[in-house]
Amino acid sequence: MKIKDLSILILFVLVVITIAEFIGFQSFTIAGLTFNFLPLVFALVITMGLGIKAFRHGLIQKIYSESNIHFSSSYMIIIMLPLLARYGADVAPKLHEILSIGWVFLLQELGNLGTVLIGLPIAILLGLRQEAIGSTLGIGREGELAYISEKYTLDSPQGRGVLSQYIFGTLFGAMFYSIVAPIFLNLGFSIESLSMASGVGSASMMAAASSSLTATMPDYADTISAYASASQLLTSFLGTFTMLFLAVPLQRRLYKLLTRKDPDHE
Domain ranges (residues) in the chain: 1-77, 91-266
CA 138 to chain centre: 10
Q: Report the pLDDT value the prediction gives residue 115, as an integer from 0 to 100.
A: 87
The predicted structure's pLDDT at residue 11: 92
Burial class (CB in 10 A: 0-12, 13-18, 19+), 259: middle
Which residues does 158 contact at the CB level (< 8 Å), separation at least 6? 130, 131, 133, 134, 148, 151, 152
**What's the predicted TM-score (pTM) here?**
0.65
Q: Looking at residue 261, what is its pLDDT?
A: 84
pLDDT at 14: 94
Closest among 71, 251, 238, 263 to 143, alpha carbons compared: 238
First to last CA, the chain: 39
* Per-residue tens of pLDDT for the chain, all 266 residues: 677 778 888 899 999 999 999 998 787 777 666 666 778 778 888 988 898 888 888 888 888 888 887 777 667 657 666 766 766 676 667 666 666 666 666 677 777 788 899 999 999 999 888 899 989 988 767 678 778 877 887 778 888 888 788 777 766 776 677 777 778 888 888 888 888 888 877 776 777 778 778 877 888 888 888 888 878 777 766 777 788 888 999 999 999 999 888 777 66
Tell me if 135 sits within 8 A of 255, measured CB to CB.
Answer: no
Look at residue 145 in the predicted model and tell me its pLDDT: 76
Cα separation, 152 vs 149, whole angstroms: 6
Can you tell me the distance from the alpha carbon of 38 to that of 133, in angstroms, rounded to the nearest whole number? 33
> Which residues 6+ apart lie within 8 Å of 118 measured at CB?
none
Cα angle 91, 96, 98; round to 5: 60
Instruction: Give the residues across from 28 on adjacent strands.
Output: 35
User: What is the pLDDT, as a whole number, of residue 121?
Assistant: 94
User: Looking at residue 250, what is its pLDDT?
Assistant: 93
